[in-house]
Structure 1
Amino acid sequence: MPSLPLRLSALFLALGLSACDDAPRFTKAEPGEARSGGATTVRKTDQNAFSLPSANLPPSRRVDFSVGNSFFRSPWVIAPSTTTARDGLGPLFNTNACQNCHIKDGRGHPPTPDSANAVSMLVRLSIPDSPAYATVIEQLGIVPEPVYGGQFQDMAVPGVTPEGKVRVEYTPVPIRFKDGTEVELRKPVLQFSQLGYGPMHPDTRFSARVAPPMIGLGLLEAIPEEAILANAA
């Protein structure tokens, strides 16, 4: 199957294909960067820093954090199983645990050329809309690809054929900042292979998603809905 270009955001296009300001400097911390989370900021800086509870979380709430974190790390299994709280995996899936995508509660990454699967990056699928799909668009917001649905799944339980494999290749895009600094960006190109259920719709649209870091989500959840609505005006 031929290469399928990854749709780039307007921000990337503006940065990579037009003139840029001076090159960014990282010689010192920006104001407020040292404690970006205020009193919740964790000072640990090793590979597990994103996996820790907020620094000011009281002991009574740390048990809740530990329980939630265990669900985040533990894998799901095929049903039926003695582990009734974690069964129901498959038949098709992208990975069997949250932690596999949000690596150590941090950001994921695209698959390398030699990766067995694309864990921590998934690809959304859709086809162009039309009046015939009005009901589907109202329900889902998109028109899923007719064979593979709205999300490409490259893993499966034993006895089931995965939907295929997806990889990312890169085309170099050189740019120059106004101060003369030259850097090279990379334009991603999606490659699909070993499609398990036939070819895709010829007009399929693709949107690659790398798993975001989990830090800060609890702070957003702690904001009362009425406060958000009050500020919306």
Structure 2
Amino acid sequence: MTSRGTGKRVRKAPAERRNEIVTTAARIGLTEGLECVTLRRVADELGVQSGLVGHYFPAADKLVAEAFTSATMAELDGLLPDPEETAGTGGAPGNTGPGAPIRTLRRFFALSSSADFDNISKLWLNARHLSRYRPVLRDHVVEQELLWCRRIERIVAAGVEAGDFRCGDPWATAVRVLVAIDGTSAYINTSAEHRAAPIAHMVRTLAESELGLAPGVLEPR
């Protein structure tokens, strides 16, 4: 935790300060839980007065919701770059060219099944629980669910167009894949040795079946 400094405060542009607050809140939510995202805690991390954070976020629930969105969007962009946004820009490794949809999904399933995905799985579980009685957060959770589904849908549709996949309804497949990810993530607080083996490849094998691929095609290379 960063203690408040006694020196002269650096005046930042409103957009920069707001982004700094949200980014800090997202880091706290991702590593410690959204319940730990408070105006005072974020202010302490930034070394400022809580009133400054309150100026940008008079309601703590709004900060919690934006922290969730910031963390999950950053994770999504790292896991599954949007083919429409990265086309012609170089994008992530393997995200363009022949066979790109298959390479993209291989990378996605490898990363999302690794221990590095544990924190984001815990964040989703945490957010869904809190959203039962926090309407602002609930709206953000629903929006992110749709965004993640659309991102998967675009990858699937690109694969169908390229002839890599056989799928009559990319949206339905995207929803089922995301539900499978969420279902396995629901056990994230169970010790790894008790959950890893039975469900380790469940999402990948479901995706292979949905996309008309032979078993093992989406295994990491």
Interval containing the TM-score (normalised by the shorter chain): under 0.3
Higher relative contact order, chain-length normalized (CA < 8 Å, sep 6+): 1
* Larger proportion of helix: 2
TM-score of the pair, normalised by structure 1: 0.25
* Larger proportion of strand: 1
Based on CA coordinates, which of the two structures has the bigger radius of gyration?
A: 1
TM-score of the pair, normalised by structure 2: 0.26
